[in-house]
């Protein structure tokens, strides 16, 4: 499990995917979300700009990311 430390109140989902280099580009990040490849707290997350906050747990491509 990897942990991402927030510097503000939240980070948008596609921004996190790009920052962690899970997605190659913004378009790739949007495609991943649209196809339901991102699981947030046990449920598929389809909102591209979902605000991720401390305590959220994502699973993407077999990687678990905890937002701290």
Q: What pLDDT does 19 receive?
A: 96
CATH number assigned to the domain comprising residue 55: 3.10.290.10
Q: What angle do CA 28, 68, 2 make, to 5 degrees?
A: 60
Count of the separate structural domains present in the chain:
1
**Global confidence as pTM:** 0.93
Contact 44/36 with Cβ under 8 angstroms? yes
What is 2-60 written as a DSSP string? EEE--SSS-EEHHHHHHHTTSSSSHHHHHHHHHTT-EEETTEE---TT-EE-TT-EEEE
| Structural domain boundaries enclosing 16 | 2-67
Residue 63 pairs with which residues in a beta bridge? Answer: 60
For 13-63, the pLDDT digits (tens) are 999 999 999 999 999 999 999 999 999 999 999 999 999 999 999 999 999
């Amino acid at each position: 499990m990897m942990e991402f430390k927030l510097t503000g109140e939240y980070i948008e989902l596609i921004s996190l995917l790009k920052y962690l280099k899970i997605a190659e580009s913004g378009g790739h990040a949007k495609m991943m979300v649209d196809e339901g490849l991102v699981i947030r707290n046990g449920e598929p997350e389809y909102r591209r700009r979902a605000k991720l906050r401390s305590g959220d747990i994502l699973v993407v491509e077999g990687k678990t990311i905890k937002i701290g």
